[in-house]
Amino acid sequence: MENELGNIIRLSVWRIPKTNHEALMQLEKLIREFFKNADVNQEIFQLKTESDEQHKMAEQMGMTNIAKTIAAKQDEVWLELQFYRDQKHLDDLVAEVQKNENALNIGKQFMDLLAPSSCIEGWFSHVKL
């Protein structure tokens, strides 16, 4: 399992002003290529439009619909997953990014397109059952 892609996963959720959608789509093409070259699988999803039915089902199950926890009336909500083989794979990529001026600039452009203070993230390790 140690050499499989996905032992370390980075999960990020962020809000994007709808006016920045197209600019972020273009920037994501560059980011996706960078990750592909680093052997990182990257998947991005957009939160479906919330409905009364979604809220009702969540409440019936004793859960809170994520749309209620993220103030996103004027924004889109995206979720990103990045899959790394292991901690070394992740550490090597972080070190590479820190030395790469172009990657740092793209990262800044990315953050500038998000709604202020809207990005949350976490690193998860695979649970061995």
pLDDT tens for each residue of 14-62 = 999 999 999 999 999 999 999 999 999 999 999 877 667 777 887 888 8
Task: Return the sign of the alpha-carbon dihedral for residues 66, 71, 74, 75.
Answer: negative
Structure confidence at residue 4 as a pLDDT band (50, 70, 90): low
Counts of helices then strands in the chain (DSSP H, E): 5, 4
pLDDT tens for each residue of 100-120 = 999 999 999 999 999 888 889
The residues near 58 (Cβ < 8 Å, ≥ 6 apart) are 64, 65
Domains belonging to the chain, first-starting first, are 8-125 (3.30.70.100)
Structure confidence at residue 5 as a pLDDT band (50, 70, 90): low
Q: Is residue 66 packed enough to be buried (19+ CB in 10 Å), middle (13-18) or exposed (0-12)?
A: middle
Q: How many CB atoms lie within 10 A of CB 73?
A: 5
Residue 100 sits at φ, ψ, to 5 deg, of -105, 105
Question: Residue 92 above 60 pLDDT?
Answer: yes
The pLDDT of residue 71:
64
Cα dihedral 6, 27, 37, 98 in deg (nearest 10): -90
Distance CA 14, CA 66 (A): 12
Per the model's pLDDT, the better-predicted residue between 56 and 94 turns out to be 94
The pLDDT of residue 72:
64
Question: Residue 1 above 50 pLDDT?
Answer: no
Q: What is the mean pLDDT of the chain?
A: 87
